[in-house]
A and B are shown apart, each in its own frame.
Chain A
Amino acid sequence: MSEENLLEVRDLHVSFHTYNGEVQSVRGVDFQVKKGETLAIVGESGCGKSVTSQSIMGLIPQPPGKIRSGEILFEGRDLTRFSEKQMEKVRGKEIAMIFQDPMTSLNPTMTVGRQITEGLEKHQRLGKAEARQKAVEMLRLVGIPSPESRMNQYPHHFSGGMRQRAMIAIALACAPKLLIADEPTTALDVTIQAQILNRMNDLKKQLDTSIILITHDLGVVAETADRVAVMYAGKVVETGTVEEIFNRPRHPYTWGLMGSVPRLDLSSRETLRPIPGTPPDLLQPPQGCPFAGRCQYAMKICKTQMPETTEISGFHRTACWLEHPMSPAVTPPNEWVGGGSQ
């Protein structure tokens, strides 16, 4: 893995003005994406994972949204300072995005082929015939049968899985350096999800694209990601490699998340340990650690002060007061700690 950071997000704050007040969706997010790796951002709805990715793409509607502070460094250039015109050159060419709902993210009045060639003609300055040839090639690459005839069809002729594959073809046509996939398989059935994930993994190897995968499905994360960032209430609470996050998690929220998911492959009747309560309201985010209200290990300090990020090793970082030497020793719930390696 190359050590070079393709993307670096530093202390990003994004908020939205709503009818009820200002929602602080992202409250100081830091992470890096290296060349050729897949970073998964995991978290529940409203944790700010989608807002973060939309900020990278410059897709935050302003107003009501606003990037309050922070930097998004893409190959050293700060995207937050880019004008809309400059962003247009980045979007699609250097950073591409696929969305959750393939139906609404394809243009229903344009043939699928045209939607692919459009980007190629614009960003890569290809001629009509050349672009067409490339588009057919892309459709074949993502596994759409008889791509020549499919080129001239409209999105409604495609099934859900095929539409998502077409989206991937559009996104990857200009060979972007970074692909942001926002819940790419959530709207799909498991058998189709398996097809798409397989395809994405293959393409990543072939094209050497970095991927930011946004999902809430821990299974998808375990199978596709190199590194993971766990988000909660607008903050990254833990980051690390997949092995670290799944086998040696340090943050109680990560414990809770893992404890909430049943394992299909475990034969014993495990019991789920759900996290009680609901995530905090980001209209009035709590003063201390946002997870303190639901955390069974919460201490007095958690309610008043946000813990600093502690480096466990290399990439493994967590923001939790339990890492502080003064905190009592805590044994995490054990049924999954090392559960994978047993």
Chain B
Amino acid sequence: MSVAEPKVEKILELDQVKKHFTMGRGQVVQAVDNISFHVYRGETLGLVGESGCGKSTVGRTIIRLYEATDGEIKFKGQSTRDLKGEKLKQFNREMQMIFQDPYASLNPRMTVGDIIAEGLDIHKMAKGQERREKVIDLLKTVGLNEEHADRFPHEFSGGQRQRIGIARALAVDPDFIIADEPISALDVSIQAQVVNLMKKLQREKGLTYLFIAHDLSMVKYISDRIGVMYLGNLVELAESQELYDNPLHPYTEALLSAVPIPDPDSKESGERIILKGDVPSPIDPPSGCRFRTRCPKAMDVCAQEAPKWREVRPLHWVSCHLYQEESLKKEEENKAE
């Protein structure tokens, strides 16, 4: 493990990003709150968390499907907030997204060829014969063939559709791809196909991935680094193996121990941490640390203030009072009172 920060370009930087949704009647859903992280060029950053933790919102905010409520997102050193005209078009080519639902992510009224060529058409990158050739090329890249170009999405299986979605994203030659739960709707054997394809494409084209998923084993398999989200907050971020070997945040610990291991012999190994209760509502999140209502190690200080996002070990970031000396001190004082 390298101690010094790798001298690699940060392709994407998020600084204190917030995304709140107004629900009417004055209710505000704090879907994403104060998230900061960066993605290095050429790596895969996994983002995990349970449903409703805001991981998809993060992805959609980065690619500007949602407008960030607050904070700054920089892509290749440039803020994405006020992109316009040619700059925006360039951004749309450089950053692409793969979606979750292979049945909803392809327009049922368009042929597969037109779906894949959509980016080419929008950015006027190819026409006529050249367009056709590019489409066939892309189909082959994802393991399909020429015949498939004139078919309609409903004729394909889930795995094939997901690969069509990948081809559509690749058409504009992006270098950053956000994969929003790209495999969670697929069967086990098909998941591996898609993940292996994504890895192959990464090697060949030097892609950077933000891989959003709830399946920890798959995320660990594909990612170089993993960020763990809980109720709109990023609670921990570290290299994949480091996160698995030394989880610092109690939530990460619980999450890791909850994943069933497909090996009957490891049944008894390790104590499983069973979290009590359910995830609170993001409309009215708990004060201080948002995990404290379910945390087996909660202290008084956790209710009083939100923990800070700190690099506790080299390249290992965590947001928890257990790793903040001043918080522990404060807890002592609390106890003394």
Contacts and interface: CB of A to CB of B under 8 A. Distances in A.
- Do A and B actually bind? yes
A2 interface: no
B278 A223 contact: no
Main secondary structure, interface of B, reads: helix
A1 interface: no
A198 B272 contact: yes
B128 interface: no
Nearest to B194: A274
A189 B265 CA distance: 24
Most chain B CB neighbours (cut-off 10 Å) among A189, A195, A270, A276: A189
A265 interface: yes
Interface string B175-197: 00000000000011111110110
B265 A341 contact: yes
A210 to B, nearest CB: 19
Contact of A256 (B189, B221, B241, B261): B189
Interface residues on A, range: 35 or more
A191 B255 contact: yes
A48 interface: no
A190 B196 CA distance: 24
B217 A223 contact: no
Nearest to B52: A189
A283 interface: no
B278 A190 contact: no
Contacts of B24: none
A265 B195 CA distance: 19
A261 B188 contact: yes
Contacts of B266: 222, 265, 340
A263 B260 contact: no
Given A274-B193, A278-B157, A340-B265, A219 B255 contact: no
Contacts of B85: none
Nearest to A216: B188
A264 B272 contact: no
Interface stretch (A71-79, A97-105, A240-248): A240-248
Contact of B264 (A242, A256, A273, A276): A242
Contacts of B283: none
Contacts of A161: 278
A221 interface: yes
A264 B261 contact: yes
A87 interface: no
Nearest to A281: B157
Contact of B193 (A44, A162, A190, A276): A276
A161 B294 CA distance: 14
Given A159-B278, A190-B216, A263 B193 contact: no
Contact of B221 (A219, A247, A272, A276): A272
Given A272-B192, A272-B221, A192 B278 contact: yes
A246 B193 contact: no
Contacts of A267: 241, 244-245
Interface in B291-324: none
B26 interface: no
Given A262-B218, A263-B263, A274 B196 contact: yes
Given A190-B259, A246-B265, 5 more contacts: A194-B275, A195-B275, A218-B188, A264-B256, A276-B193
12 contacts: A189-B50, A190-B214, A222-B262, A247-B265, A261-B262, A263-B217, A263-B261, A264-B217, A264-B220, A264-B259, A265-B266, A278-B157
Interface of B: 50-51, 157, 159-160, 187-193, 195-196, 214, 216-218, 220-221, 241, 244-245, 254-267, 272, 274-275, 278-279
4 closest A-B pairs by CB: A219-B260, A274-B192, A262-B221, A189-B50
